[in-house]
Protein backbone atom coordinates (compact mmCIF):
# COMPACT_ATOMS: atom_id res chain seq x y z
CA UNK A 1 0.00 0.00 0.00
CA UNK A 2 1.27 3.46 -0.89
CA UNK A 3 1.49 5.27 2.43
CA UNK A 4 1.18 8.69 0.78
CA UNK A 5 -1.91 7.72 -1.25
CA UNK A 6 -4.16 9.85 0.91
CA UNK A 7 -3.07 12.05 3.78
CA UNK A 8 -4.36 15.29 5.24
CA UNK A 9 -2.15 18.30 5.89
CA UNK A 10 -2.65 21.60 7.64
CA UNK A 11 -0.06 24.00 6.23
CA UNK A 12 0.67 27.11 8.33
CA UNK A 13 2.75 29.55 6.29
CA UNK A 14 2.32 33.33 6.40
CA UNK A 15 3.69 33.99 2.90
CA UNK A 16 0.86 33.56 0.38
CA UNK A 17 3.23 32.72 -2.46
CA UNK A 18 5.23 30.13 -0.48
CA UNK A 19 1.99 28.72 0.90
CA UNK A 20 0.68 28.22 -2.63
CA UNK A 21 3.96 26.62 -3.71
CA UNK A 22 4.11 24.13 -0.79
CA UNK A 23 0.43 23.31 -1.29
CA UNK A 24 1.23 22.39 -4.88
CA UNK A 25 4.15 20.19 -3.75
CA UNK A 26 2.05 18.40 -1.16
CA UNK A 27 -0.87 17.84 -3.53
CA UNK A 28 1.53 16.37 -6.08
CA UNK A 29 2.43 13.84 -3.37
CA UNK A 30 -1.23 12.89 -2.83
CA UNK A 31 -2.00 15.13 0.15
CA UNK A 32 -5.22 17.01 0.84
CA UNK A 33 -4.06 20.41 2.00
CA UNK A 34 -5.63 23.24 3.98
CA UNK A 35 -3.50 26.38 4.02
CA UNK A 36 -3.75 29.10 6.68
CA UNK A 37 -1.35 31.97 7.26
CA UNK A 38 -1.98 32.92 10.90
CA UNK A 39 -1.34 30.99 14.11
CA UNK A 40 -4.82 31.78 15.44
CA UNK A 41 -6.39 30.32 12.27
CA UNK A 42 -4.28 27.18 12.69
CA UNK A 43 -5.51 26.70 16.28
CA UNK A 44 -9.11 27.20 15.15
CA UNK A 45 -8.70 24.60 12.41
CA UNK A 46 -7.19 22.15 14.90
CA UNK A 47 -10.23 22.53 17.13
CA UNK A 48 -12.41 21.40 14.20
CA UNK A 49 -10.30 18.58 12.80
CA UNK A 50 -6.88 16.96 13.22
CA UNK A 51 -4.71 16.43 10.16
CA UNK A 52 -2.19 13.63 9.69
CA UNK A 53 0.55 16.24 9.20
CA UNK A 54 0.98 19.78 10.43
CA UNK A 55 3.55 21.65 8.33
CA UNK A 56 4.30 24.65 10.52
CA UNK A 57 6.33 27.78 9.88
CA UNK A 58 8.18 28.93 13.00
CA UNK A 59 7.78 32.65 12.34
CA UNK A 60 4.15 33.68 12.06
CA UNK A 61 2.67 37.20 12.21
CA UNK A 62 0.62 36.65 15.39
CA UNK A 63 2.56 34.00 17.34
CA UNK A 64 5.49 31.64 17.21
CA UNK A 65 5.17 28.20 15.63
CA UNK A 66 6.69 26.93 18.89
CA UNK A 67 3.54 28.01 20.78
CA UNK A 68 1.39 26.08 18.35
CA UNK A 69 3.68 23.06 18.69
CA UNK A 70 3.22 23.15 22.47
CA UNK A 71 -0.59 23.13 22.08
CA UNK A 72 -0.43 20.28 19.58
CA UNK A 73 1.82 18.19 21.83
CA UNK A 74 -0.57 18.63 24.73
CA UNK A 75 -3.94 18.41 23.04
CA UNK A 76 -3.46 16.62 19.72
CA UNK A 77 -0.49 14.30 20.29
CA UNK A 78 -1.44 12.13 17.28
CA UNK A 79 -0.68 14.94 14.81
CA UNK A 80 2.81 14.69 13.25
CA UNK A 81 4.52 18.07 13.05
CA UNK A 82 7.11 19.21 10.49
CA UNK A 83 8.60 22.65 11.22
CA UNK A 84 9.63 25.11 8.51
CA UNK A 85 12.51 27.34 9.42
CA UNK A 86 14.63 30.09 7.93
CA UNK A 87 18.45 29.87 8.24
CA UNK A 88 18.54 32.12 11.26
CA UNK A 89 16.11 30.00 13.26
CA UNK A 90 17.69 26.55 12.92
CA UNK A 91 18.47 26.47 16.65
CA UNK A 92 14.79 26.96 17.38
CA UNK A 93 13.95 24.18 14.95
CA UNK A 94 16.28 21.84 16.83
CA UNK A 95 14.50 22.81 20.04
CA UNK A 96 11.22 22.06 18.29
CA UNK A 97 12.39 18.52 17.57
CA UNK A 98 13.33 18.12 21.20
CA UNK A 99 9.79 19.22 22.04
CA UNK A 100 8.27 16.54 19.83
CA UNK A 101 8.31 17.81 16.22
CA UNK A 102 9.13 15.04 13.77
CA UNK A 103 11.57 16.98 11.52
CA UNK A 104 12.30 20.42 10.14
CA UNK A 105 12.84 21.87 6.69
CA UNK A 106 15.14 24.82 6.07
CA UNK A 107 13.90 27.41 3.56
CA UNK A 108 14.29 27.38 0.64
CA UNK A 109 13.50 23.74 -0.11
CA UNK A 110 12.27 22.05 -3.26
CA UNK A 111 9.48 19.58 -3.90
CA UNK A 112 11.80 16.57 -3.63
CA UNK A 113 13.12 17.57 -0.20
CA UNK A 114 9.57 18.13 1.08
CA UNK A 115 8.42 14.84 -0.41
CA UNK A 116 11.18 12.85 1.40
CA UNK A 117 10.36 14.43 4.75
CA UNK A 118 6.62 13.86 4.28
CA UNK A 119 7.15 10.20 3.33
CA UNK A 120 9.37 9.63 6.36
CA UNK A 121 6.79 11.24 8.61
CA UNK A 122 3.95 9.16 7.18
CA UNK A 123 5.99 5.98 7.43
CA UNK A 124 6.74 6.67 11.09
CA UNK A 125 3.02 7.34 11.73
CA UNK A 126 2.12 4.07 10.08
CA UNK A 127 4.61 2.19 12.30
CA UNK A 128 3.41 3.90 15.47
CA UNK A 129 -0.20 3.02 14.59
CA UNK A 130 0.77 -0.56 13.86
CA UNK A 131 2.54 -0.95 17.19
CA UNK A 132 -0.42 0.61 19.03
CA UNK A 133 -2.83 -1.75 17.26
CA UNK A 134 -0.62 -4.74 18.04
CA UNK A 135 -0.26 -3.70 21.67
CA UNK A 136 -4.00 -3.22 22.08
CA UNK A 137 -4.62 -6.74 20.75
CA UNK A 138 -2.27 -8.27 23.36
CA UNK A 139 -3.78 -9.32 26.67
CA UNK A 140 -3.08 -6.66 29.26
CA UNK A 141 -1.68 -8.09 32.52
CA UNK A 142 -2.60 -4.86 34.36
CA UNK A 143 -5.25 -2.23 33.81
CA UNK A 144 -6.13 0.78 35.95
CA UNK A 145 -5.60 -0.93 39.32
CA UNK A 146 -6.57 -4.42 38.12
CA UNK A 147 -4.14 -7.28 37.83
CA UNK A 148 -5.24 -10.08 35.51
CA UNK A 149 -4.77 -11.19 31.94
CA UNK A 150 -7.55 -13.78 31.64
CA UNK A 151 -9.96 -13.40 28.75
CA UNK A 152 -12.74 -12.62 31.22
CA UNK A 153 -10.76 -9.66 32.58
CA UNK A 154 -9.76 -8.44 29.09
CA UNK A 155 -13.49 -8.15 28.35
CA UNK A 156 -13.93 -6.11 31.53
CA UNK A 157 -11.02 -3.79 30.53
CA UNK A 158 -12.51 -3.28 27.06
CA UNK A 159 -15.90 -2.43 28.51
CA UNK A 160 -14.33 0.06 30.93
CA UNK A 161 -12.45 1.67 28.03
CA UNK A 162 -15.67 1.98 26.04
CA UNK A 163 -17.83 3.38 28.83
CA UNK A 164 -15.31 5.66 30.53
CA UNK A 165 -16.09 8.71 28.42
CA UNK A 166 -19.84 8.23 28.43
CA UNK A 167 -22.25 9.70 30.97
CA UNK A 168 -24.38 6.55 30.88
CA UNK A 169 -24.86 4.89 34.26
CA UNK A 170 -22.77 1.79 34.78
CA UNK A 171 -23.90 -1.11 36.96
CA UNK A 172 -21.26 -3.47 38.28
CA UNK A 173 -22.20 -6.91 39.53
CA UNK A 174 -19.95 -9.55 41.01
CA UNK A 175 -19.33 -11.58 44.12
CA UNK A 176 -17.76 -9.96 47.14
CA UNK A 177 -14.06 -9.23 46.67
CA UNK A 178 -14.06 -9.44 42.85
CA UNK A 179 -12.99 -5.80 42.47
CA UNK A 180 -16.23 -3.85 42.01
CA UNK A 181 -14.79 -0.77 43.70
CA UNK A 182 -11.59 -1.09 41.64
CA UNK A 183 -13.81 -1.19 38.56
CA UNK A 184 -15.79 1.91 39.57
CA UNK A 185 -12.52 3.75 40.16
CA UNK A 186 -11.20 2.64 36.78
CA UNK A 187 -14.33 3.90 35.00
CA UNK A 188 -13.87 7.28 36.66
CA UNK A 189 -10.12 7.60 36.09
CA UNK A 190 -10.16 6.37 32.48
CA UNK A 191 -12.68 9.01 31.41
CA UNK A 192 -12.95 12.76 30.99
CA UNK A 193 -14.20 13.15 34.56
CA UNK A 194 -10.87 11.94 35.94
CA UNK A 195 -9.95 15.42 37.17
CA UNK A 196 -13.27 15.68 38.99
CA UNK A 197 -14.10 13.98 42.30
CA UNK A 198 -14.80 10.26 42.77
CA UNK A 199 -17.19 9.87 45.70
CA UNK A 200 -17.95 6.39 46.98
CA UNK A 201 -20.92 5.69 49.20
CA UNK A 202 -21.54 2.30 50.74
CA UNK A 203 -25.31 2.05 51.00
CA UNK A 204 -25.07 -0.96 53.33
CA UNK A 205 -22.74 0.52 55.91
CA UNK A 206 -24.56 3.78 56.59
CA UNK A 207 -27.43 3.59 59.10
CA UNK A 208 -30.83 3.85 57.41
CA UNK A 209 -31.76 7.16 59.05
CA UNK A 210 -28.49 8.82 58.00
CA UNK A 211 -28.22 7.72 54.42
CA UNK A 212 -30.46 10.44 52.95
CA UNK A 213 -28.31 13.11 54.55
CA UNK A 214 -25.15 11.26 53.47
CA UNK A 215 -26.33 11.43 49.85
CA UNK A 216 -28.05 14.81 49.73
CA UNK A 217 -26.51 16.64 52.70
CA UNK A 218 -28.45 18.52 55.36
CA UNK A 219 -29.09 22.00 56.66
CA UNK A 220 -28.26 23.15 60.16
CA UNK A 221 -30.93 21.98 62.61
CA UNK A 222 -32.50 19.51 60.15
CA UNK A 223 -32.33 16.82 62.84
CA UNK A 224 -30.78 16.29 66.26
CA UNK A 225 -27.05 16.51 65.83
CA UNK A 226 -27.18 18.54 62.60
CA UNK A 227 -25.18 21.38 64.12
CA UNK A 228 -24.11 22.88 60.80
CA UNK A 229 -24.92 22.74 57.09
CA UNK A 230 -23.23 19.75 55.51
CA UNK A 231 -22.69 18.80 51.86
CA UNK A 232 -23.74 15.29 50.89
CA UNK A 233 -22.14 12.92 48.40
CA UNK A 234 -24.24 14.38 45.56
CA UNK A 235 -22.75 17.85 46.04
CA UNK A 236 -19.23 16.54 46.54
CA UNK A 237 -19.45 14.46 43.36
CA UNK A 238 -20.34 17.46 41.14
CA UNK A 239 -18.50 17.14 37.80
CA UNK A 240 -17.29 13.72 38.84
CA UNK A 241 -18.58 10.24 39.64
CA UNK A 242 -20.89 9.07 42.41
CA UNK A 243 -20.29 5.41 43.23
CA UNK A 244 -23.25 3.79 44.97
CA UNK A 245 -21.83 0.58 46.38
CA UNK A 246 -24.19 -2.14 47.65
CA UNK A 247 -27.07 -0.28 45.99
CA UNK A 248 -29.52 -3.14 46.56
CA UNK A 249 -29.27 -2.53 50.32
CA UNK A 250 -30.83 0.93 49.96
CA UNK A 251 -34.12 1.59 51.69
CA UNK A 252 -37.12 1.60 49.30
CA UNK A 253 -38.25 5.07 50.34
CA UNK A 254 -34.86 6.52 49.60
CA UNK A 255 -34.75 4.67 46.29
CA UNK A 256 -37.60 6.87 45.04
CA UNK A 257 -35.75 10.06 46.06
CA UNK A 258 -32.64 8.76 44.34
CA UNK A 259 -34.66 8.02 41.19
CA UNK A 260 -35.77 11.63 40.94
CA UNK A 261 -32.19 12.82 41.47
CA UNK A 262 -30.89 10.49 38.75
CA UNK A 263 -33.58 11.61 36.31
CA UNK A 264 -33.12 15.34 36.85
CA UNK A 265 -29.77 15.88 38.57
CA UNK A 266 -31.81 17.96 41.05
CA UNK A 267 -32.10 17.29 44.79
CA UNK A 268 -32.89 18.94 48.10
CA UNK A 269 -30.83 18.69 51.27
CA UNK A 270 -32.51 17.16 54.31
CA UNK A 271 -34.26 20.07 56.01
CA UNK A 272 -33.63 22.33 53.01
CA UNK A 273 -36.12 24.12 50.79
CA UNK A 274 -33.88 25.04 47.88
CA UNK A 275 -33.32 22.72 44.92
CA UNK A 276 -29.72 22.11 43.88
CA UNK A 277 -28.52 20.80 40.54
CA UNK A 278 -25.33 18.87 39.93
CA UNK A 279 -23.65 17.07 37.04
CA UNK A 280 -22.85 13.57 38.25
CA UNK A 281 -22.11 10.26 36.57
CA UNK A 282 -23.57 7.28 38.42
CA UNK A 283 -21.81 3.99 38.90
CA UNK A 284 -23.56 1.40 41.07
CA UNK A 285 -22.54 -2.01 42.34
CA UNK A 286 -24.00 -4.99 44.11
CA UNK A 287 -23.05 -8.53 44.96
CA UNK A 288 -26.68 -9.57 44.69
CA UNK A 289 -28.47 -10.47 41.47
CA UNK A 290 -30.23 -7.14 40.84
CA UNK A 291 -33.13 -8.50 38.83
CA UNK A 292 -33.88 -11.00 41.60
CA UNK A 293 -34.02 -8.04 43.99
CA UNK A 294 -36.48 -6.30 41.66
CA UNK A 295 -38.64 -9.42 41.48
CA UNK A 296 -38.57 -9.75 45.28
CA UNK A 297 -39.75 -6.13 45.59
CA UNK A 298 -36.59 -4.96 47.35
CA UNK A 299 -35.25 -2.90 44.46
CA UNK A 300 -37.43 -0.49 42.46
CA UNK A 301 -37.81 -1.56 38.84
CA UNK A 302 -37.72 2.02 37.53
CA UNK A 303 -34.51 2.69 39.47
CA UNK A 304 -33.05 -0.56 38.15
CA UNK A 305 -33.62 0.58 34.56
CA UNK A 306 -32.12 4.01 35.29
CA UNK A 307 -28.96 2.62 36.82
CA UNK A 308 -28.54 -0.61 34.89
CA UNK A 309 -27.71 1.04 31.56
CA UNK A 310 -24.26 -0.45 31.06
CA UNK A 311 -23.91 -3.70 32.97
CA UNK A 312 -20.41 -4.87 33.85
CA UNK A 313 -19.98 -8.32 35.33
CA UNK A 314 -16.84 -9.06 37.29
CA UNK A 315 -15.89 -12.73 37.07
CA UNK A 316 -15.24 -14.69 40.27
CA UNK A 317 -11.58 -15.51 40.81
CA UNK A 318 -12.15 -19.26 40.42
CA UNK A 319 -12.99 -18.84 36.71
CA UNK A 320 -10.02 -16.55 36.02
CA UNK A 321 -7.47 -19.34 35.36
CA UNK A 322 -3.90 -18.09 35.35
CA UNK A 323 -4.91 -14.80 37.03
CA UNK A 324 -4.84 -16.62 40.38
CA UNK A 325 -1.10 -17.21 40.19
CA UNK A 326 -0.44 -13.83 38.58
CA UNK A 327 -2.25 -12.08 41.44
CA UNK A 328 -0.61 -14.33 44.03
CA UNK A 329 2.85 -13.51 42.66
CA UNK A 330 2.11 -9.77 42.67
CA UNK A 331 0.78 -9.90 46.21
CA UNK A 332 3.75 -11.96 47.38
CA UNK A 333 6.09 -9.29 46.03
CA UNK A 334 4.10 -6.48 47.62
CA UNK A 335 3.81 -8.12 51.06
CA UNK A 336 7.47 -9.26 50.99
CA UNK A 337 8.41 -5.63 50.70
CA UNK A 338 6.06 -4.51 53.44
CA UNK A 339 7.02 -7.30 55.85
CA UNK A 340 10.74 -7.45 55.02
CA UNK A 341 10.56 -11.08 53.83
CA UNK A 342 12.44 -12.82 51.00
CA UNK A 343 9.94 -15.11 49.29
CA UNK A 344 10.70 -15.55 45.60
CA UNK A 345 7.79 -17.72 44.53
CA UNK A 346 5.59 -20.75 45.16
CA UNK A 347 6.42 -24.47 45.09
CA UNK A 348 4.60 -26.40 42.38
CA UNK A 349 2.34 -28.07 45.01
CA UNK A 350 1.45 -24.69 46.45
CA UNK A 351 0.69 -23.35 42.96
CA UNK A 352 -1.54 -26.32 42.25
CA UNK A 353 -3.39 -25.77 45.51
CA UNK A 354 -3.91 -22.06 44.82
CA UNK A 355 -5.20 -22.89 41.33
CA UNK A 356 -7.60 -25.58 42.54
CA UNK A 357 -9.12 -23.70 45.44
CA UNK A 358 -12.57 -22.15 44.89
CA UNK A 359 -11.79 -18.69 46.36
CA UNK A 360 -15.28 -17.88 47.67
CA UNK A 361 -13.93 -14.52 48.94
CA UNK A 362 -12.22 -13.85 45.61
CA UNK A 363 -9.27 -11.43 45.37
CA UNK A 364 -9.80 -10.10 48.90
CA UNK A 365 -9.48 -13.64 50.25
CA UNK A 366 -6.37 -14.25 48.15
CA UNK A 367 -4.86 -11.06 49.59
CA UNK A 368 -5.56 -12.31 53.12
CA UNK A 369 -4.09 -15.73 52.43
CA UNK A 370 -0.87 -14.40 50.92
CA UNK A 371 -0.53 -11.82 53.68
CA UNK A 372 -0.94 -14.58 56.25
CA UNK A 373 1.65 -16.78 54.56
CA UNK A 374 4.18 -13.95 54.40
CA UNK A 375 3.64 -12.84 57.99
CA UNK A 376 3.72 -16.30 59.53
CA UNK A 377 6.52 -17.90 57.56
CA UNK A 378 10.09 -17.39 56.37
CA UNK A 379 11.98 -18.79 53.43
CA UNK A 380 12.37 -18.34 49.69
CA UNK A 381 9.60 -20.62 48.49
CA UNK A 382 6.01 -20.73 49.65
CA UNK A 383 5.43 -24.43 50.34
CA UNK A 384 2.10 -26.26 50.44
CA UNK A 385 2.22 -26.61 54.23
CA UNK A 386 2.49 -22.85 54.64
CA UNK A 387 -0.96 -22.39 53.07
CA UNK A 388 -3.97 -22.21 55.42
CA UNK A 389 -5.72 -25.48 56.21
CA UNK A 390 -8.84 -24.26 54.49
CA UNK A 391 -7.07 -24.29 51.13
CA UNK A 392 -5.48 -27.67 51.51
CA UNK A 393 -8.75 -29.29 52.66
CA UNK A 394 -11.44 -30.60 50.35
CA UNK A 395 -12.98 -27.54 48.73
CA UNK A 396 -12.20 -27.33 45.03
CA UNK A 397 -13.54 -25.26 42.17
CA UNK A 398 -15.57 -28.22 40.99
CA UNK A 399 -17.22 -28.61 44.38
CA UNK A 400 -18.02 -24.92 44.45
CA UNK A 401 -21.06 -23.93 42.48
CA UNK A 402 -22.21 -20.81 44.32
CA UNK A 403 -20.67 -18.17 46.59
CA UNK A 404 -19.44 -19.72 49.82
CA UNK A 405 -18.64 -18.16 53.17
CA UNK A 406 -15.63 -15.89 53.40
CA UNK A 407 -12.46 -17.26 54.99
CA UNK A 408 -12.32 -16.73 58.72
CA UNK A 409 -9.80 -14.03 59.44
CA UNK A 410 -8.03 -15.75 62.31
CA UNK A 411 -6.96 -19.24 63.29
CA UNK A 412 -8.39 -20.92 60.26
CA UNK A 413 -5.48 -19.32 58.48
CA UNK A 414 -3.18 -21.05 60.92
CA UNK A 415 -0.10 -22.19 59.11
CA UNK A 416 0.62 -25.84 59.76
CA UNK A 417 4.30 -25.01 60.08
CA UNK A 418 3.89 -22.32 62.71
CA UNK A 419 3.10 -22.33 66.38
CA UNK A 420 -0.48 -21.27 67.19
CA UNK A 421 0.46 -18.22 69.26
CA UNK A 422 1.79 -16.45 66.17
CA UNK A 423 -1.53 -16.57 64.34
CA UNK A 424 -3.23 -13.46 65.66
CA UNK A 425 -1.74 -10.84 63.36
CA UNK A 426 -5.17 -9.73 62.26
CA UNK A 427 -6.18 -9.47 65.89
CA UNK A 428 -8.78 -6.71 65.54
CA UNK A 429 -11.35 -9.07 67.04
CA UNK A 430 -10.18 -11.33 69.78
CA UNK A 431 -10.93 -15.00 69.55
CA UNK A 432 -14.39 -15.80 70.95
CA UNK A 433 -14.69 -19.02 72.97
CA UNK A 434 -17.17 -20.53 70.51
CA UNK A 435 -14.75 -19.93 67.68
CA UNK A 436 -11.91 -21.33 69.75
CA UNK A 437 -13.77 -24.55 70.39
CA UNK A 438 -14.59 -24.99 66.72
CA UNK A 439 -10.91 -24.59 65.88
CA UNK A 440 -10.17 -27.18 68.50
CA UNK A 441 -12.62 -29.54 66.81
CA UNK A 442 -10.92 -28.98 63.49
CA UNK A 443 -7.57 -29.77 65.04
CA UNK A 444 -8.94 -32.90 66.66
CA UNK A 445 -10.31 -33.98 63.34
CA UNK A 446 -6.93 -33.39 61.77
CA UNK A 447 -5.41 -35.95 64.12
CA UNK A 448 -8.26 -38.38 63.50
CA UNK A 449 -10.58 -38.10 66.57
CA UNK A 450 -14.17 -37.18 67.57
CA UNK A 451 -15.75 -37.00 64.08
CA UNK A 452 -19.22 -36.90 65.65
CA UNK A 453 -18.47 -33.50 67.19
CA UNK A 454 -17.81 -31.86 63.86
CA UNK A 455 -20.49 -29.36 62.94
CA UNK A 456 -21.35 -27.80 59.60
CA UNK A 457 -18.99 -24.97 58.62
CA UNK A 458 -21.87 -22.49 58.34
CA UNK A 459 -22.65 -22.88 62.05
CA UNK A 460 -19.05 -22.12 62.99
CA UNK A 461 -19.11 -19.17 60.67
CA UNK A 462 -22.41 -17.96 62.06
CA UNK A 463 -21.06 -18.05 65.62
CA UNK A 464 -17.95 -16.14 64.62
CA UNK A 465 -19.88 -13.47 62.79
CA UNK A 466 -22.65 -13.11 65.40
CA UNK A 467 -19.93 -13.05 68.10
CA UNK A 468 -18.18 -10.22 66.30
CA UNK A 469 -21.45 -8.29 65.95
CA UNK A 470 -22.16 -8.74 69.67
CA UNK A 471 -18.66 -7.49 70.49
CA UNK A 472 -19.36 -4.44 68.34
CA UNK A 473 -22.57 -3.77 70.29
CA UNK A 474 -24.75 -4.82 67.38
CA UNK A 475 -22.99 -2.54 64.89
CA UNK A 476 -23.02 -4.70 61.73
CA UNK A 477 -20.93 -2.37 59.51
CA UNK A 478 -18.23 -2.14 62.20
CA UNK A 479 -18.18 -5.90 62.70
CA UNK A 480 -18.05 -6.38 58.92
CA UNK A 481 -15.07 -4.06 58.65
CA UNK A 482 -13.23 -5.93 61.40
CA UNK A 483 -14.09 -9.29 59.84
CA UNK A 484 -12.81 -7.91 56.50
CA UNK A 485 -16.08 -8.62 54.70
CA UNK A 486 -18.82 -6.32 53.52
CA UNK A 487 -21.91 -5.59 55.59
CA UNK A 488 -24.11 -6.87 52.79
CA UNK A 489 -22.29 -10.20 52.96
CA UNK A 490 -23.40 -10.43 56.59
CA UNK A 491 -27.00 -9.58 55.71
CA UNK A 492 -26.94 -12.16 52.93
CA UNK A 493 -25.46 -14.79 55.20
CA UNK A 494 -28.07 -14.09 57.88
CA UNK A 495 -30.77 -14.74 55.29
CA UNK A 496 -29.09 -18.01 54.29
CA UNK A 497 -28.70 -19.12 57.93
CA UNK A 498 -32.36 -18.43 58.53
CA UNK A 499 -33.29 -20.55 55.54
CA UNK A 500 -30.96 -23.34 56.69
CA UNK A 501 -32.36 -23.24 60.21
CA UNK A 502 -35.93 -23.28 58.88
CA UNK A 503 -35.17 -26.23 56.67
CA UNK A 504 -33.58 -28.04 59.65
CA UNK A 505 -36.63 -27.48 61.87
CA UNK A 506 -39.09 -28.59 59.16
CA UNK A 507 -37.10 -31.70 58.17
N1 LIG B 1 -8.17 -7.77 39.60
C2 LIG B 1 -7.64 -7.24 40.70
N3 LIG B 1 -6.35 -6.93 40.73
C4 LIG B 1 -5.78 -6.43 41.85
N5 LIG B 1 -6.44 -6.21 42.99
C6 LIG B 1 -7.74 -6.50 43.01
C7 LIG B 1 -8.41 -7.02 41.87
N8 LIG B 1 -9.70 -7.22 42.20
C9 LIG B 1 -9.83 -6.84 43.47
N10 LIG B 1 -8.67 -6.40 43.97
C11 LIG B 1 -8.39 -5.97 45.35
O12 LIG B 1 -9.22 -6.79 46.18
C13 LIG B 1 -9.78 -6.03 47.23
C14 LIG B 1 -11.29 -6.10 47.14
O15 LIG B 1 -11.70 -5.38 45.99
P16 LIG B 1 -13.03 -4.50 45.98
O17 LIG B 1 -13.23 -3.83 47.30
O18 LIG B 1 -13.01 -3.64 44.77
O19 LIG B 1 -14.09 -5.68 45.83
P20 LIG B 1 -15.67 -5.59 45.83
O21 LIG B 1 -16.15 -6.48 44.74
O22 LIG B 1 -16.10 -4.17 45.81
O23 LIG B 1 -16.02 -6.27 47.24
P24 LIG B 1 -17.35 -6.05 48.17
O25 LIG B 1 -18.53 -6.47 47.37
O26 LIG B 1 -17.10 -7.00 49.32
O27 LIG B 1 -17.36 -4.62 48.58
C28 LIG B 1 -9.22 -4.62 47.10
O29 LIG B 1 -8.08 -4.49 47.91
C30 LIG B 1 -8.82 -4.54 45.64
O31 LIG B 1 -7.76 -3.64 45.45
pLDDT tens per residue, range 168-218: 999 999 999 999 999 999 999 999 999 999 999 999 888 878 889 999 999
pLDDT at 507: 60
Q: Dihedral (C-alpha) 299, 304, 307, 310: value to the nearest 10 degrees?
A: 130
Closest atom of ligand 1 relative to the 181 alpha carbon: 18
pLDDT at 132: 83
Q: What percent of the chain is modeled with pLDDT above 70?
A: 87
Closest atom of ligand 1 relative to the 485 alpha carbon: 26
CA–centroid distance, 180 to ligand 1, in Å, is: 6
pTM of the predicted structure, to 2 decimals: 0.62
pLDDT at 405: 37
Q: Hey, whose CA ends up nearest to atom 9 of ligand 1?
A: 179
pLDDT at 409: 31
422 pLDDT more than 90? no
CA–centroid distance, 146 to ligand 1, in Å, is: 9
Q: What is the pLDDT of residues 224-252, one digit of tens each?
A: 888 899 999 999 999 999 999 999 999 89
> What does 270-329 look like in DSSP terms, one character per residue?
BT--SEEE--EEEEEEESS-HHHHHHTTSS-HHHHHHH-SEEEEPPPGGGSTTHHHHHHH
**Distances from the Cα of 222 to the Cα of 46, 209, 218, 270, 277, angstroms:** 52, 12, 6, 6, 20
For residues 429 and 323, the model is more confident at 323
pLDDT at 7: 93
Distance CA 349, CA 363 (A): 20
Angle (CA) 491 493 494, round 5°: 65
CA–centroid distance, 319 to ligand 1, in Å, is: 16
CA–centroid distance, 284 to ligand 1, in Å, is: 15
Distance CA 393, CA 396 (A): 9
Least reliable range by pLDDT among 73-77, 130-134, 309-313:
130-134
> What does 329-378 look like in DSSP terms, one character per residue?
HHHHHHHHHHHT----EE-HHHHHHHHHS--TTHHHHHHHHHHHHHHH--
Q: Hey, whose CA ends up nearest to atom 16 of ligand 1?
A: 179
CA–centroid distance, 317 to ligand 1, in Å, is: 11
The per-residue pLDDT of the chain, averaged, comes to 84
Closest atom of ligand 1 relative to the 314 alpha carbon: 21
506 pLDDT more than 70? no
Domains and CATH numbers, the chain: 7-136 (3.40.50.2300), 142-313 (3.40.50.300), 317-427 (1.10.8.60), 431-507 (no CATH)
Beta bridge partners of 34: 10
417 pLDDT more than 50? no
CB atoms within 10 A of CB 305: 12
Distance CA 13, CA 113 (A): 17
Q: Hey, whose CA ends up nearest to atom 5 of ligand 1?
A: 146
CA–centroid distance, 368 to ligand 1, in Å, is: 12
Q: Hey, whose CA ends up nearest to atom 24 of ligand 1?
A: 176
CA–centroid distance, 237 to ligand 1, in Å, is: 22
Q: What percent of the chain is modeled with pLDDT above 90?
A: 64
| Maximum Cα interatomic distance, the chain, rounded to a whole number of Å | 100
Q: Provide residues with CB under 6 Å of ligand 1.
A: 146-148, 174, 176-182, 287, 327, 363-364, 367, 486
User: For a pocket test of ligand 1, which of 174, 176, 181 has the largest count of ligand atoms closer than 8 A to its C-beta?
Assistant: 181
266 pLDDT more than 90? yes
Please name which of 256, 286, 270, 280 lies closest in space to residue 210, comparing C-alpha atoms: 270
Going by the DSSP 8-state scheme, the letter that residue 127 receives in this structure is: H
User: For a pocket test of ligand 1, which of 154, 179, 202, 359 has the largest count of ligand atoms closer than 8 A to its C-beta?
Assistant: 179
User: For a pocket test of ligand 1, which of 150, 174, 364, 406 has the largest count of ligand atoms closer than 8 A to its C-beta?
Assistant: 364
Amino acid sequence: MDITSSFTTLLVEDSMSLGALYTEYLRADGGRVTHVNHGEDALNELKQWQPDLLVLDIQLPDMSGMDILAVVQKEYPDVTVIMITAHGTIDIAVDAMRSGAFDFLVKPFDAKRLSITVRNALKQRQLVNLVAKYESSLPKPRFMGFVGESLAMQTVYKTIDCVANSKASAFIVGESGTGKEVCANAIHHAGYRCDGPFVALNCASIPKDLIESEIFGHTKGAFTGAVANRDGAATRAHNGTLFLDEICEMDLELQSKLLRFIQTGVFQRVGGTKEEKVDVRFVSATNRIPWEEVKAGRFREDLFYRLHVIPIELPPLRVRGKDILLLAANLLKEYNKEEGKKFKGFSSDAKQCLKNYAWPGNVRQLQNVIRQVVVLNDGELVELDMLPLQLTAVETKQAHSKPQPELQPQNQYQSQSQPKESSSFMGSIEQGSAYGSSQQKLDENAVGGKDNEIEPLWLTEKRTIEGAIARCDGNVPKAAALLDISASTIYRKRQTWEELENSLTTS
